[in-house]
Amino acid sequence: MNKTSEKVNCPQCGSSEKIIPIIYRCSTADYERYRELEKKGEAILAGCVLSVEVPKWFCKTCRLNIWESDL
Ligand SMILES: [Zn+2]
């Protein structure tokens, strides 16, 4: 269930070093855990999004939102 460790390369700069997942949370069940990740700069916490047209990752190198279809 936890897919945050998968390696993603940025389609723009090619780096996988500073790719962090964007986490969409509707429930508050794991909220504290993800808050900790966000504080450490290892994830971005987004709100409840029902659309499938949302970026899954963020490249901190070139500040690019990455959609799954970009890969
Ligand atoms: Zn990049």
pLDDT 10s digits, 7-40: 899 999 999 999 999 999 888 778 889 999 999 9
The whole domain housing 24 covers 19-70
Residue 1 lies in a domain: no
How far apart are the C-alpha atoms of 68 and 33, rounded to whole Å? 24
Residue 14 lies in a domain: no
Residue 8 lies in a domain: no
Domain total of the chain:
1
Helix (H) or strand (E) holding 39: helix 31-39
**pTM score above 0.95:** no
Helix or strand or coil: residue 7?
coil
Report which residue type is found at 63: R
**Cα 71 to averaged position of ligand 1 atoms, centre (Å):** 12
**Cα 11 to averaged position of ligand 1 atoms, centre (Å):** 7
**Cα 10 to averaged position of ligand 1 atoms, centre (Å):** 5
**Cα 29 to averaged position of ligand 1 atoms, centre (Å):** 31
**Cα 49 to averaged position of ligand 1 atoms, centre (Å):** 24
How far apart are the C-alpha atoms of 44 and 46, rounded to whole Å? 6
Helix or strand or coil: residue 23?
strand
